[in-house]
Chains A and B, each alone.
Chain A
Amino acid sequence: MPKHETPLLDQLETGPWPSFVSDLKRQAASRAQKQNEIQYQIPVDVVEDLLGLLELSYVEKEVHWKHGGIVGVFGYGGGVIGRYCDQPAKFPGVAHFHTVRVNQPAGKYYKTDFLRQLADLWDFRGSGVTNMHGSTGDIILLGTTTPQLEEIFFELTHKMNQDLGGSGSNLRTPEACLGESRCEWSCYDTQELCYQLTMEYQDELHRPAFPYKFKFKFDGCPNGCVASIARADLSFIGTWRDDIRIDQEAVAGYVGGELNPNGGAHAGKDWGPFDIQKEVIDLCPTKCMWMEGGKLKINDRECTRCMHCLNVMPRALRIGNDRGLSILAGAKAPILDGAQMSSLLVPFMKVEDPYDNIKEIIENIWDWWMEEGKNRERLGETMKRQGFQKLLEVTGIPADPRHVEHPRFTPYIFWKEEEVPGGFERDIADYRTRHPK
């Protein structure tokens, strides 16, 4: 018998897609069943009460969680989000239900022994409910009590060699696509750069010193599988600056129908025979490709590396050899002044250990934003308020037409005094010698 009747949630057990309600019920039943075996450190019926509270939200259509409150582990200002419910008498198991963010390995590969250890720890000291993964990329452990926080941290660090992720006005846990580990399009080792910068900035990740949150995300190519351009204050997107490598035999294979275009991505519908002119050459945004004597030609100088042709013919076209990344800055969600995407700041940079060129950009931006950013102002908002020219100034990057979609609309240029010969000090007497009153 479940502790709480959940007639509304029960209706989310039907249908083919994995049911989170069924999953939670399974977890609740497992705790009840194993309570003599495992000395659960938080209430055995925590998941029952979670379902009960959620059912109440489904009935009332209002949320029942309160603000965080300050909880965490000693010396860190992030990694734990305090959570309390506003109906503790009815649902004592979730009266305290704090979240722990665990910094995921780059690319989210795991060995099962590691996750088994984590599952055992979380079963024992928490609700056993996780998110694999949270939106920012962390492993999310949902629901434990305050006394368990230090215990969990101790076990993570001592037994699993594993640290917490970021929350609050910190560097948030950086996230990377799987990069070179399993993708032919990755223009740099996203996992390694993600790991190295995560380690370099541990202090910024754990101890809040910023105006607001700050996110790094690492995409290996302009396809953008971790959506860095939409989600990260600094987006690191792989690119190349030499020529696309062409295998003409494979091009002929696609044209002749021997190779499956799009890596098979469109195989579920009959779109007719592959037409390289229509599907590749005509869709090229810069029109820099053509067929000549049965061979595909590319004027690489005009290519903007949008990836379309590579996506369509992965066996014929490969990224160039002179690889690196572009850095874009300032993406954020709508709170407060509307959503922003990242804007191109560094068109190209090589990615080489010890990454000093990249760190210099990051630290110059932080110095400026920490000085000038208002409370709860994301980098993108500071950029809007003080201008892109200011961002160039603090990073020492010269202005470049690649920085803009087009030159400015308004002629209201804020000339600086040192840019105008003779400066701004005017002598009205001298003026009057030429222009009497």
Chain B
Amino acid sequence: MAFISSGYNPDKPMENRITDIGPRHYSEFLPPVIKNNKGKWLWHEIIEPGVLMHKAESGDEVYSVRVGTARIMGVETLREVLDIADKHCDGYVRWTTRNNIEFMVDSKDKVQPLKDDLLSRKFDGGSYKFPIGGTGAGLTNIVHTQGWIHCHTPASDASGTVKVVMDELFEEFGQMRMPAQLRISMACCLNMCGAVHCSDIAILGYHRKPPAIDHEELDNLCEIPLAVASCPTAAIRPTKTTITDRKTGEEKSVKTVAIKNERCMFCGNCYTMCPALPLTDAEGDGLVIMAGGKVSNRIDAPKFSKVVVAFLPNETPRWPSLAKCMRQMVDAYVKGARKYERFGHWAERIGWERFFEVTGLEFTHHLIDDFRDPAYFTWRQTTNFKF
């Protein structure tokens, strides 16, 4: 593996250095039919699940075929996407915010060959490479985070849980028979690299044990005042402890921290500031399920998702309890919601007491908010409730 230089000279890093040039201008990458009609679109129609047609003032039409992806994509699969785009779409392709790919063609007769090509491609393991769907009143792709594949703070895996849920609900991706669109999101810790907190259904990785304390390393790896300050509930205080030196066997006093376990809310912020305070734990870690949020302003204001399942364990590799829980929630929603009702609208209309009844989810004391002032506003200050 011989090192091959790009031309960069490490002895003179500033020589010919180019910085602050930003991204490429998007206009370089717009397909002609898009470029010609930008800002002049009249209306659109989803002509079948996964296929959108946009009509321009000029009379031009663009047909977009939307396909799901796993988000993780090796360059081999990426090159396959590019080959398809070269073959059918004159060398243009785009991705959506929710990790779908859109292949665009400028006439209707090009749609069927493109669809046939996309659906004919499968991975060696048997799964579709490019399932068509994700439009309208149905399920679209799950936005998610890295999980165990690349992050240092996750309480679960992202790609695995997403695969399981999309397999379970797969038929809804390719159809539009729900009361409204269903947006599911997954974040593998509270940092939530995605809009999990405002999703119809959110899957969230959560720790349940306070950090382990590596007394031996803590003062070397961390700024103790920063670790103390990082705790939102003031559960961490500086202290000293005695440890046995592994080399000499002698006892020695070291600076470290102490944690008041009953104050810990398992957010992991201390670990971000101090690597000697790891939270990951096979028994402690798992998933929280939240529901009823949205980001759209349609009909009413955006909503936060609410916690409806306090904990599901990490049942690798296929998380059966997670799949079952999703199925229960989606089936109850599809059965009970009125046209145009998002998941949260439906839950609010029937009342949360009914929600737990019809979904079969268990309401436990963990679902009653006890975090600071906002908790009060979630308790019921009325006699209006259902038996």
Contact B176 A268, beta carbon cutoff 8 Å: yes
Of A109-117, A293-301, A387-395, A417-425, the stretch lying at the interface with chain B is: A109-117
Of A150-158, A357-365, A396-404, A427-435, the stretch lying at the interface with chain B is: A150-158
Contacts of B235 in A (CB 8 A): none
Of B107-115, B241-249, B313-321, B358-366, the stretch lying at the interface with chain A is: B313-321
Q: A119-B78, A191-B26, A206-B19 are in contact. List 16 more A-B contacts (CB 8 A).
A: A23-B73, A23-B123, A74-B13, A109-B29, A114-B24, A129-B74, A142-B149, A162-B21, A182-B62, A223-B297, A227-B97, A229-B297, A231-B195, A265-B181, A333-B187, A334-B192
Of B37-45, B256-264, B325-333, B346-354, the stretch lying at the interface with chain A is: B37-45
Contacts of B77 in A (CB 8 A): 23, 26-27
CA distance A402 to B375 in the complex (A): 26
Name the CB-closest residue of B to A165.
B23
Contacts of B138 in A (CB 8 A): 268
B89 nearest CB across to chain A (Å):
9
Contact A103 B23, beta carbon cutoff 8 Å: yes
Name the CB-closest residue of B to A108.
B95
Contact B93 A112, beta carbon cutoff 8 Å: yes
In the complex, 28 of the A-B residue pairs with CB atoms within 8 angstroms, ordered by the A residue number, are A12-B164, A12-B317, A12-B318, A17-B128, A17-B167, A17-B170, A19-B127, A20-B72, A39-B4, A63-B151, A63-B280, A66-B152, A112-B82, A112-B93, A115-B78, A115-B81, A133-B71, A161-B24, A181-B38, A223-B297, A229-B198, A262-B137, A263-B45, A263-B136, A266-B176, A306-B299, A314-B43, A315-B42
Contact A180 B299, beta carbon cutoff 8 Å: no
Q: State whether the Cβ of A203 lies closer than 8 Å to any Cβ in chain B.
A: yes
B149 nearest CB across to chain A (Å):
6
From A19, A103, A114, give the contact of B125 (CB < 8 A): A19
CA distance A308 to B21 in the complex (A): 40
Contact B78 A338, beta carbon cutoff 8 Å: no
From A142, A161, A222, give the contact of B296 (CB < 8 A): A222
Q: How large is the interface on B (under 10, 10 to 19, 20 to 34, 35 or more residues)?
A: 35 or more
Contact B26 A26, beta carbon cutoff 8 Å: no
Contact B177 A269, beta carbon cutoff 8 Å: yes
From B131, B176, B198, give the contact of A17 (CB < 8 A): B131
CA distance A203 to B62 in the complex (A): 38
CA distance A300 to B169 in the complex (A): 41
Contacts A17-B127, A163-B20 hold; do A267 and B136 have CB atoms under 8 A apart?
yes
Contacts A22-B123, A83-B152 hold; do A130 and B78 have CB atoms under 8 A apart?
yes
Contact B152 A376, beta carbon cutoff 8 Å: no
Question: Interface 1/0s, chain A 53-86, versus B by CB < 8 A?
Answer: 0100111111111111000001110000001000
Name the CB-closest residue of A to B172.
A268
Contact B20 A203, beta carbon cutoff 8 Å: yes
Contact A199 B76, beta carbon cutoff 8 Å: no
Contacts of A2 in B (CB 8 A): none
Contact A17 B68, beta carbon cutoff 8 Å: yes
CA distance A14 to B299 in the complex (A): 40
From B125, B150, B154, give the contact of A83 (CB < 8 A): B150
Kindly identify, within residues 170 to 219 of chain A, every residue whose CB is under 8 Å from any CB belonging to chain B: 175, 177-178, 180-184, 186, 189, 191, 195, 198-199, 202-203, 205-206
Contacts of A337 in B (CB 8 A): 232, 372
Contact B304 A341, beta carbon cutoff 8 Å: yes
Contact A230 B193, beta carbon cutoff 8 Å: no
CA distance A231 to B196 in the complex (A): 9
